[in-house]
Structure 1
């Protein structure tokens, strides 16, 4: 007997149109449509899919990358911008949930960016908006630190969905915060490659093994299914970088390619796996399988000592300034003007209906 849903999920193992937000949005819409035609109910995209992952920060010194940062900032998008609205509209048309990684612009600054993710429901509403807590290694040259506002698990008809971005899946407290909200599907998003060494200086960081280990460990501890949604480096991305510096070819070609895959509540692989080929991977999640393992280890239930350990999470959205303006009224002699206080229905560029 099934008490919980059986869900078909998809992960886009895809490359963006490198540093082109408009073309990448169009590609995302096409992928959502394709996944829905294959009966997927949830589609996950990689880290910073729009407009790309800033891998150049690992290749060259910051002093040489100012123009790339300016272009990246220009091609990044607002959480309440038209690009998210287009993708949300497609989610509604296709009737699927969408998890989307993107580089987010700030309304308070022309140069402040976050590594962000939104979860969009099957009616086109943004139901969670998360900013990566800590940019990892060279990402600090591009993105600002996020906050805890998006550390939420969303209860949906296809399961209780949570997610973390890349290295956040190494943070046991962030993971525990999601486990403690009854997470059943955990989405982890990753870049196409993550260079840390030149081939001549020894082995590079094996992100495929690391991602599989982290995803499997989280699913085993949470007793939840996992979607590992990783990016893909296509010829366009490689050619763009190599044209700028031919010596970068050895690093790009010598770095392990990320893999898109799925794991079950035991941490074992399930469904498709993609690495060398671009495409959409699929899996079926029987959420009933999340229940039995809780008898063995329930780290947010009986298999813990809440009298010994405690965790407090601040989920307040952090702002650069708090305004304390007095209420403003329009002139009373203007018969056409509405009366009363002018209300601000956005919060740092996020519509007021998005959980903060």
Structure 2
């Protein structure tokens, strides 16, 4: 079996803050740029369209109704024009595209999901999934997803799986992808993740957390991991800082996320991307084989007679309609 040598790109980019159409257009430009550089896959961050709702960490919910209303209005449908433009860009340039977006639904004006879509080089949707559990203050914005899209996708550039932000800390979700032979793991993150006031010893360092959790996944799965985090630009920072002086101080002092890549030995490949731009990485999937001799947790280095994991991929719509078939006419002899 021949395993491919691939080139991928992480889009360490800022969205056009709270503007879904403009952000989708920016993403299409990035797809074109990455394709010109020879990338076979372009990955965008968590909730790239229309941006990450960081205000949930910066002010009480009673002070952020307008932010949620605007965010809901700019959240997009999985079959909407924004993602359709990205599908066309993927087909035009012949590349795979992974994009995070805040997903709206026709079933509700305010129910949203933190979602990801993997698009093939012919523009088809290869997978569409929703984050299983919104993390911490994200619960103020997004609903829990189901496991319909918790799966690995076979592609010409390898077997691809994806998890969103804190899901990369969930050992069962990660194992579900490992057990389908994942070779390229896509881990998407927001630009910042405030948990305490700046300067406090227990404040969360998102860059360090990314290295720990994504390094652990690559080391355990013996796969490559590509990390794409958003970049916090000046317009977004100003909009968030306007909430209060305390919010402005948090925005100023909170560590920023990075984009990077990790090999199947758990070590980083190349440099981290901190400035806005595309990070290009080359990966030889054959490198995933040798480490399996040491620990193959979905093969010989496990005890399936002791441990068992079941994943329910049943979709969870809010309602199921069952229309009654029209009553059949009686047989002729009864009609007489």
How high is the TM-score relative to the length of structure 2? 0.95
| Structure 1 counterpart of 2:298 | 300
C-alpha deviation, 1:299, in angstroms: 0.3
| Structure 2 counterpart of 1:250 | 249
What's the CA shift string for 1:235-290, capped at 9, x where partnerless? 11111122343432210111111010000000111134212x10000100100001
| Structure 2 counterpart of 1:136 | 135
| Structure 2 counterpart of 1:285 | 283
Q: Counterparts of 1:203 and 1:135 in 2: how far apart (Å)?
A: 22
What's the CA shift string for 1:151-174, capped at 9, x where partnerless? 110000000000100000010000
Contact 2:59 2:243 in 1 (8 A): no
C-alpha deviation, 1:90, in angstroms: 0.2
2:259 aligned with 1:260? yes
2:311 aligned with 1:313? yes
| Structure 2 counterpart of 1:100 | 99
| Structure 2 counterpart of 1:122 | 121
C-alpha deviation, 1:26, in angstroms: 0.7
C-alpha deviation, 1:198, in angstroms: 1.0
Contact 1:260 1:274 in 2 (8 A): yes
What's the CA shift string for 1:171-216, capped at 9, x where partnerless? 0000000000000000000000000011254442011111111101
Q: Counterparts of 1:40 and 1:195 in 2: how far apart (Å)?
A: 33
SS in 2 for 1:164: strand
Contact 2:131 2:144 in 1 (8 A): yes
Q: Counterparts of 2:123 and 2:270 in 1: how far apart (Å)?
A: 27
| Structure 2 counterpart of 1:173 | 172
SS in 2 for 1:149: coil
Q: Counterparts of 1:7 and 1:200 in 2: how far apart (Å)?
A: 41
Q: Tell me the matched-pair count.
A: 327
Contact 2:118 2:127 in 1 (8 A): yes
Q: Counterparts of 1:40 and 1:279 in 2: how far apart (Å)?
A: 14
SS in 2 for 1:150: coil
SS in 1 for 2:118: strand
Matches within 5 A, 1:160-199: 160-199=159-198
| Structure 1 counterpart of 2:334 | none
Unaligned stretches of 5+ residues in structure 1: 329-356
Contact 1:166 1:190 in 2 (8 A): yes
Q: Counterparts of 1:327 and 1:82 in 2: how far apart (Å)?
A: 35
C-alpha deviation, 1:107, in angstroms: 1.5
Q: Counterparts of 1:262 and 1:141 in 2: how far apart (Å)?
A: 31
Moved over 6 A (4+): none
Unaligned stretches of 5+ residues in structure 2: 327-336
2:323 aligned to 320, 325, 329, which one? 325
Change (3 A) 1:85 1:323: same
| Structure 1 counterpart of 2:331 | none
How high is the TM-score relative to the length of structure 1? 0.90
| Structure 2 counterpart of 1:152 | 151
SS in 1 for 2:242: helix
